[in-house]
């Protein structure tokens, strides 16, 4: 119990809210999945009786479509008309083209057609003209389920305005292997209870917006070393180990309306078949359906992925996926072969029409709720849904990054006392727009700016600031204080986070020289915290998790004590990386306590604003103008 209190007690949203969330959503939604109303039952049965055998098979199939062309894809239109496929999964493109094309595809379908998208961080995951919401790792660091629910609802509203009915999220994988090549930053964290709480909150948000949530990737993809897009991962764990980690989150998500099966072999669940879970009846039909009693829709992961497609040829692959327990075949690449093989199975007695009808009922029931009677925009897709919004998405995102910001002290390092005089250097390492963060720092302090990209010129030209200097190293080491901003190019560990090894080696050598000369440093990390294993710095780090403006604002505010850095690292470091320690409570990284005189002559003490550099102009005069997001300044009256 002491351990539980340590993990959860300090955060109301992730602690007590978890219990309430599990009851309110996990149990309440399970009743909703299991108990359709009479109108729904009548429509489902009437529609089912009207469907031919070919039309029923079509309901099991979803095909990909791209929002890039000016005209509808003739092949997709043909599949809708000839095979009457039941849904489309939208891939890369632009919002305007999607909204235009969507209407053509809906008109080509005789029956309700559902639209889906992989939108873990909003529609921006697929559409390049949409604003990106925070990654799951960032949301996990903020440890606020109420905020995560609000963010997911905002994502759901965005998807609804685009005509989507399904979002393939939340990711319920426990990131127990932080060097996993395919999950990583897509997971809420490395603790099953935290992941469950966050996944429930995320699902509630989508459902409030009228979008169907889908927990993935059953039974858990967070401890693999192979990307199932490119090969077939194998998970060698005992059933007891699975129950305590991977399976524990999915058992808590049985109330969700749908789940997605993973393309990975789990020997403890495969009954000797040596097949991925997505093709394995023992895992889906056996464990998930019969033992756990799951009543929702089961989607296969995309069947074009190598983790599945290398097991069987087209046609046989889709039949095996249905036989295993999937209801919907996602991303079918050869619809004619798939339909032909399923019809053959029915005619040969390998499968019964009653078993087919059971799957189609689940699909039609979901369509009744999310397509026919779901929360719709007043005038169809493209129009804003009229809902009560407490905060716009931009402010929700700012709040998320403020709460996620995490302060670390590698090897117990302590930030040295700062002097009010002397030169300072802001060293931006990488980044496409490094001056964005520097400009925010300029609201508080003056510092010379140097941008050193990951690739390009071997050495940046800094001689204009120091005429007559002999080398870049000698110039930089003249600054007694550095703020080092690390702009990490990629979130994916499989790419080395996009960090160039040769440039890293050069920077590490330079920093060692600077430390030897007594230069004091603090580091701002804009990217995946795994970058620490490559940076290998020794000073205090403020991790903002992503390379984007909201992260810059949060990091700079915390740097000067204008806000807290309450985030907690949402992943476990492996035994080989014990050099990272996070304190339970952080004082402001750069400290000062100025006494300010306002217009009424009352002295106020801003006990969080902390640094011996020039105070922002709006505070010097007692002005009420605030930099956006500084509502977290803490002040108190000072009688002296």
CATH number of the domain within which 74 lies: 3.20.20.300
User: Are 220 and 273 members of one domain?
Assistant: yes
Write down the pLDDT at residue 576.
Answer: 52
How many angstroms separate the CA atoms of 344 and 354, rounded?
15
Determine the structural domain holding residue 211 and report its residue range. Answer: 18-377
User: Are 196 and 99 members of one domain?
Assistant: yes
Half-sphere exposure of 170 (CA within 13 A, CB side): 36
Which run of H or E residues covers position 63?
Answer: strand 61-67
| Domain assignment of residue 209, yes or no | yes
| Domain assignment of residue 400, yes or no | no
How many domains, the chain? Answer: 2
Write down the pLDDT at residue 413.
Answer: 57
Active site annotation includes 263: no
pLDDT(625) > 60: no
DSSP notation for 168-221: ---B-----STT-SSSGGGSS-S-HHHHHHHHHHHHHHHHHTT-B--EEEET--
Phi-psi region at 513: left, alpha or beta (left = phi > 0; alpha = psi -120 to 50): alpha
pLDDT class of 462 with cuts at 50, 70, 90: confident
How many angstroms separate the CA atoms of 620 and 593, rounded?
14
pLDDT(388) > 90: no
Residue that is last in its domain, among 377, 394, 426: 377
Write the pLDDT tens digit of every residue in 548-579: 999 999 999 998 888 889 999 998 865 555 44
pLDDT(25) > 60: no
User: Are 322 and 424 members of one domain?
Assistant: no
Mean pLDDT of 178-190: 90
Write down the pLDDT at residue 455.
Answer: 87
Between 549 and 384, the more confident residue is 549
Write the pLDDT tens digit of every residue in 391-417: 789 999 999 999 999 998 866 555 544
When computed from its CA atoms, the radius of gyration of the chain, rounded to whole angstroms, is 27
Write the pLDDT tens digit of every residue in 488-539: 999 998 889 999 999 999 999 999 999 999 999 999 999 999 999 899 898 9
pLDDT class of 469 with cuts at 50, 70, 90: low
User: Are 417 and 310 members of one domain?
Assistant: no
User: Are 412 and 370 members of one domain?
Assistant: no
| Domain assignment of residue 4, yes or no | no
Q: Which of 444, 470, 450 is nearest to 591 (CA)?
A: 444
User: Are 373 and 409 members of one domain?
Assistant: no
Q: Which of 250-259, 441-450, 535-544, 614-623 has the lowest mean pLDDT?
A: 614-623
Give how far the C-alpha of residue 1 lies from the chain's centroid of Cα atoms, to the nearest Å.
30
pLDDT(385) > 60: no
User: Are 203 and 352 members of one domain?
Assistant: yes
Catalytic hit among 104, 111, 229, 577: 229
Alpha helices in 109-191 (DSSP H): 136-142, 145-161
3-state secondary structure of 483: strand
Write down the pLDDT at residue 331.
Answer: 97
pLDDT(428) > 80: yes
User: Are 508 and 562 members of one domain?
Assistant: yes
Active site annotation includes 301: yes
User: Are 291 and 425 members of one domain?
Assistant: no
User: Are 229 and 364 members of one domain?
Assistant: yes
Mean pLDDT of 309-329: 96
User: Are 363 and 413 members of one domain?
Assistant: no
User: Are 77 and 142 members of one domain?
Assistant: yes
Catalytic hit among 301, 327, 547, 564: 301
- Mean pLDDT, all residues of the chain: 82
Q: Where do the DSSP E strands lie in 475-576?
A: 481-487, 520-526, 541-543
Q: How far apart are the first and last CA of the chain?
A: 45
Q: Which of 175, 261, 171 is nearest to 213 (CA)?
A: 171
């Amino acid at each position: 119990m002491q351990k539980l209190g340590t993990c959860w007690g300090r955060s109301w949203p992730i602690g007590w809210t978890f219990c309430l969330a599990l009851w309110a959503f996990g149990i309440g939604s399970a009743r909703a999945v299991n108990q359709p109303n009479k109108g729904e039952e009548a429509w489902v049965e009437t529609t089912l009786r009207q469907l031919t055998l070919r039309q029923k098979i079509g309901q099991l199939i979803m095909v990909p479509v791209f929002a890039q062309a000016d005209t509808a894809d003739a092949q997709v239109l043909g599949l809708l008309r000839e095979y009457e496929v039941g849904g489309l999964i939208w891939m890369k493109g632009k919002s305007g083209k999607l909204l235009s094309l969507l209407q053509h595809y809906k008109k080509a379908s005789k029956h309700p057609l559902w639209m889906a998208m992989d939108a873990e961080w909003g529609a921006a995951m697929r559409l390049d003209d949409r604003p990106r919401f925070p990654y799951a790792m960032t949301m996990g660091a903020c440890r606020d389920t109420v905020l995560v629910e609000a963010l997911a609802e905002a994502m759901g509203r965005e998807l609804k305005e685009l005509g989507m009915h399904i979002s393939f999220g939340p990711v319920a994988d426990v990131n127990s292997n932080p060097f996993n090549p395919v999950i990583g930053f897509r997971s809420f964290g490395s603790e099953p209870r935290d992941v469950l709480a966050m996944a429930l909150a995320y699902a509630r948000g989508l459902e409030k917006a009228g979008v169907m949530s889908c927990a993935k990737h059953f039974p858990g993809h967070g401890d693999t070393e192979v990307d199932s897009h490119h090969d077939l991962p194998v998970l060698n764990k005992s059933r007891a180990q699975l129950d305590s980690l991977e399976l524990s989150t999915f058992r808590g998500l049985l109330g969700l309306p749908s789940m997605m099966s993973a393309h990975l072999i789990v020997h403890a669940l495969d009954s000797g078949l040596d097949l991925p879970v997505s093709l394995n009846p023992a895992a889906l039909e056996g464990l998930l359906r019969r033992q756990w009693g799951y009543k929702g829709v089961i989607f296969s992961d995309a069947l074009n992925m190598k983790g599945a497609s290398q097991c069987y040829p087209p046609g046989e692959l889709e039949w095996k996926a249905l036989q295993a327990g999937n209801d919907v075949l996602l991303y079918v690449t050869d619809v004619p072969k798939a339909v032909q093989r399923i019809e053959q199975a029915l005619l040969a007695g390998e499968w019964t029409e009653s078993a087919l009808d059971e799957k189609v009922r689940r699909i039609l029931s979901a369509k009744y709720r999310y397509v026919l009677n779901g929360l719709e925009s007043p005038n169809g897709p493209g129009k804003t849904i009229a809902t009560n919004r407490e905060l716009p998405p931009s402010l929700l995102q700012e709040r998320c990054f403020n709460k996620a910001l995490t302060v670390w002290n590698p090897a117990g390092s302590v930030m040295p006392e700062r002097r009010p005089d002397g030169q300072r250097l802001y060293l931006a390492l990488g980044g496409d727009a490094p001056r964005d963060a520097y400009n925010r720092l300029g609201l508080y302090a003056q510092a010379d700016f140097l941008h050193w990209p990951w690739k390009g010129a071997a050495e940046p030209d800094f001689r204009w600031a120091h005429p007559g200097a002999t080398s870049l190293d000698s110039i930089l080491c003249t600054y007694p204080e550095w703020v080092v901003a690390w702009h990490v190019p990629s979130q994916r560990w499989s790419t080395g986070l996009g960090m160039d090894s040769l440039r890293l080696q050069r920077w590490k050598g330079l920093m060692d020289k600077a430390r030897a000369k007594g230069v004091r440093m603090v580091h701002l990390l804009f990217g995946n915290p795994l970058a620490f294993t490559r940076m290998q710095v020794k000073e205090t780090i403020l991790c903002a998790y992503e390379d984007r403006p909201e992260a810059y604002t949060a990091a700079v505010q915390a740097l000067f004590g204008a806000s807290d850095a309450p985030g907690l690292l949402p992943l476990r470091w492996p035994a080989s990386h014990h050099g990272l320690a996070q304190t339970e409570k952080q004082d402001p990284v750069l400290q000062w306590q100025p006494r300010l005189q306002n217009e009424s002559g009352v002295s106020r003490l801003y006990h969080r604003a902390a640094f011996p550099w020039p105070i922002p102009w709006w505070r010097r005069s007692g002005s009420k103008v605030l930099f956006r997001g500084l509502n977290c300044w803490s002040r108190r009256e000072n009688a002296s």
